[in-house]
Amino acid sequence: MGDTPTQLPTTAVVDERLHLAAATLAPSGPLALTFRNPVGNELKDVQGFIPVRSDDDRILTCFLRYGDGFVDVHDLAHFRTPEGRKQSVSCYRKRRLDRIAVAADLVAEGLDLVRSDVERGLVTILARRNSGPSIGNGPRTG
């Protein structure tokens, strides 16, 4: 799962999808997650403006606005076209997920944690179904 968990509408849906993913793994089957980690790294005021890409033909800037459990990502793009400069603006909401909590949820689902780290704001979690019985066969607890 790439950035998918952060784009789900609620943490309950994130939990449900992680449960379903864990439940479908074969013994020793891997689950890999990567997502941006905006938890604890809130950018304040003008720090929320992030230059993403710039060349002779385009400029892309993001602005991040943090809320309780989410971050709104505003993309502002300027493009050079044969007709002149054009602007494109979009906004989307991303769920704020805590790496440690997600890793703990996967362990609670019966997975062994292989890797859980953050590098330059990108969370990588690798878990593997342990060789015990599948968690999909019994009630979920916790």
Q: What is the pLDDT of residues 75-100, one digit of tens each?
A: 999 999 999 999 999 999 988 888 89
Q: What is the 3-state secondary structure (H, E, C) of the chain?
A: CCCHHHHCCCHHHHHHHHHHHHHCCCCCCEEEEEEECCCCCCCCHHHHEEEEEECCCEEEEEEEEEECCEEEEEEEEEEEECCEEEEEEEEEEEECCCHHHHHHHHHHCCEEEEEEEEECCEEEEEEEECCCCCHHHCCCCC
User: What superfamily does domain 1-37+97-135 belong to in CATH?
Assistant: Vaccinia Virus protein VP39 (3.40.50.150)
Q: Domain locations in the chain?
A: 1-37+97-135, 42-94
Statement: the pTM of the whole predicted model exceeds 0.95: no
Q: Which CATH architecture has domain 42-94?
A: Single Sheet (2.20)
pLDDT in tens, 23-72: 999 989 999 999 876 656 677 788 888 898 999 999 999 998 888 888 89
